Structure 1
Amino acid sequence: MTITAPPREPARRKQDVLGRLETELDVWVATADADGTPCLVALWFLWDGRDVWMSTRPGNPTGRNLRAGGRTRLAFGDTRDVVLIDGAVAAYASAGVPPAAAEAFAAKTGWDPRRESAAYDWFRVRPHAVQSWHGVPELRGRHLMRDGVWTV
């Protein structure tokens, strides 16, 4: 495959990232345990305009790692349309999740973890770094957010 499209300008890349955060249903969630054993799963998510919200069982590896590690990397797309988001994690039990976040999550996904008989925890990811690129021609300028501040 030959890439013939010119690289997108940073403002366009940011617009594309925000569009994906609004429309995608799943995000890849990368974590590691205290020994460094990696875990990668796809979870449904909600973007509220500032944070990414996800829910998963507290006893599974992803739930344990998110709670204990306090950080994650989220990923969208394939190797030709990459979005990476590094962020700090805050964990909430179902009783403590902000109702607006849980209700918006349920409206987007059609699933409300608070209504499950099994326990689900909630995780808020506040982005501190965002990268986006379409192949090698866009590697330059791929950093759209650093230290929690959009660079564009």
Structure 2
Amino acid sequence: MVPEPPRTLRQRKQDTLARLENDLDAWVASADRDGNAYLVPLSFLWDGAAFTFATAESSPTGRNLRSSGRARLSVGPTRDVVLVDGTVETFSRETVPADLADAFAAKLWDARVGTTRYAYFRVTPRRTQAWREENELAGRDLMRDGRWLV
């Protein structure tokens, strides 16, 4: 199978933003203080600047994100992947901004209700990469140090 020609950086950014606006789930990688990795799928809200996730405060992911302040995300299938490295801001049920929790609830579910205590995690991208095939590996960086390259 012959791959399609590589996309321009501008087209990759457009495709990436469309994926972030329309997809619902991402793989979220985190690690504990000893470097033990943990990977879990979570639904997300993309607001144009950052991702918001909610997971149980006591879960391994919740503990790892809170303590390390970093996450790696993967959105999309293997042959059209978006990888994001970002910094994490944590909110409890009591401290989450109402507009953020309301937007998350409108798109996904309301993590403020129920007996399980959920925390919200806002991940701001610092590095973003996107590629489909080997011919796009050379230009896979779309964002570095929190700034879009195109």
The TM-score, its normalising length taken from structure 2, stands at 0.97
1:74-93 alignment runs, 5 A limit? 74-93=73-92
Indicate if the aligned counterparts of 1:52 and 1:125 stay in contact, CA closer than 8 A.
yes
Question: In structure 2, how many angstroms separate the alpha carbons of the residues matched to 1:54 and 1:4?
Answer: 34
| Residue 98 of structure 1: how far off its partner (Å) | 1.2
Q: Describe the superposition over 1:63-90 as per-residue Cα deviations: whole angstroms up to 9, x where unpaired.
A: 0000001000000122211110000001
Q: Distance in 1 between matches of 2:60 and 2:2?
A: 38
Deviation of 1:99 (Å): 1.1
Q: Which residue of 1 aligns with 2:145?
A: 147
Segments of 5+ residues of structure 1 without an aligned counterpart are: none
Q: Residue type of the partner of 1:44? A: S
User: Residues of 1 paired with 2:38 and 2:11: CA distance?
Assistant: 31
* 1:104-143 correspondence runs (5 A): 104-109=103-108, 111-143=109-141
Letter of the 1:146 counterpart: R
Q: Superposed, which structure 2 residues align to 1:88-99 within 5 Å?
A: 88-99=87-98
Q: Which amino acid aligns with 2:24?
A: L
Residues 71-125 of structure 1: per-residue CA shift (max 9 Å, x gap): 000001222111100000011101111111111111111x100012211101010
Contact conserved, 1:48 with 1:101, CA < 8 A, in 2? no
Percent of aligned pairs sharing the same letter:
53
Give 1:133's aligned amino acid. Answer: W
Q: Which residue of 1 aligns with 2:43?
A: 44
AA paired with 1:24?
D
Distance of 2:136 and 2:88 partners within structure 1: 28
- Number of paired residues? 150
RMSD of aligned C-alpha atoms?
0.8
Runs of 4+ more than 2 Å apart? none
Structure 2 unaligned spans of 5+: none
Give the TM-score of the pair, scaled to structure 1.
0.96
Give 2:27's aligned amino acid.
Answer: W
